[in-house]
Amino acid sequence: MKMQLVLEAPAKINLTLNVIGKRTDGYHELESVMQQINLRDKIFLHTGGNDIKIASNSAQIPDNEGNLAFQAAKLLYSKFSLNPGLQIFIEKNIPVGAGLAGGSTDAAAVIIGINELFDLHLQREELMQLGSIIGSDVPFCILGGAALARGRGEILSPLPEGPRLEMVLVKPDFQLSTGEVYRDFRMERVEERPDNTAFLEAWRQCDMIGLAAEMKNVLETVSIGKCPEIQLIKDKLDTLGALKTLMSGSGPSVVGVFTHRDEARKAWGIIKDQYRESYLVSSYNRGD
Ligand code: C5P
């Protein structure tokens, strides 16, 4: 058994997000291309003591059972009767309530970390299965890289490495609840849906124009209704030369995809003076 471990927990964006239908369990059936980005939390795990404790440098996330990382640790501790206890420290760099799977990626890192600390020898699929109990995005965060997600987000087909995406990510000073956005989603109001088959073809060919044409998120109009600032950010990023702008997940984060890193850097240099939570990011692949 190891005593301590430090893990990176990358954020996720949705390059496409389509809702296929509403399920009887209250969730929505999705088809979405998910991609990790190099905006990362850092997770410190120390074994010792009798129970699970969680702390963070951020006052915005719960330091108790409300934290998905705590729930993930608790799940593994009760399933495998683990001891001694665990101290979890989360260095928060990913914006909270942003549509970037910040809570899910911390939980994923804790699951991966406990597997390693306690030599549980669980396979990735088993870890993902456990992760799906904690949240819909957790299995993707365990898998990493880029993937096509189906079901409620937990049925994953990994994608080969695609073109490196150079992006500016902006989070307005506003948080959205995923549950609320899905609750207000109405299938009959959707005007534009991504064609994931066309997106994946463009992905294989590293065709940026083809990719940009299919980067669509059916939740965008719902979230813009709650936070009109999302549209303003999209317009601003367009003006700054983005090839495409898109809200991530249920929002309110917006990404602008640029053809070159230099263009992205230039746009970021301007928009960061207006939005405190602005980041220059790129895609993060398995093994990065
Ligand atoms: O799975 P997770 O707890 O992250 O989901 C948060 C909320 O988002 C769910 O309670 C549900 O209301 C909504 N959701 C959904 N369909 C999905 C994923 C999430 O309706 N595929």
| Residues in a beta bridge with 53 | 87
Peptide bond into 252 cis (omega under 30): yes
Size of the chain in residues: 288
Report CA(178)–ligand 1 centroid distance (Å).
Answer: 6
pLDDT at 288: 84
d(CA 149, CA 177): 20
Could you state, in chain order, the average pLDDT of each consecutive group of 10 residues for the chain (288 residues)?
Answer: 95 98 97 98 97 97 97 98 97 97 98 98 98 98 98 97 96 96 97 97 96 98 98 98 98 97 98 97 91
Report CA(198)–ligand 1 centroid distance (Å).
Answer: 26
* Model confidence pLDDT, tens digit, residues 171-215: 999 999 999 999 999 999 999 999 999 999 999 999 999 999 999
Pocket test residue of 19, 34, 136, 219 for ligand 1, highest count of atoms within 8 A of CB: 136
Residue closest by Cα to atom 13 of ligand 1:
179
pLDDT at 242: 98
Residue closest by Cα to atom 2 of ligand 1:
135
Nearest-CA neighbor of 48 among 103, 79, 89, 9?
89
Q: Is 229 helix (H, G, I), strand (E, B) or coil?
A: helix
Report CA(27)–ligand 1 centroid distance (Å).
Answer: 6
d(CA 143, CA 120): 18
Rounded to whole angstroms, the maximal C-alpha distance in the chain is: 55
d(CA 6, CA 150): 31
pLDDT at 204: 96
Report CA(140)–ligand 1 centroid distance (Å).
Answer: 14
pLDDT at 48: 95
Which positions are annotated as active-site residues?
12, 137
pTM of model > 0.95: yes
Residue closest by Cα to atom 15 of ligand 1:
27
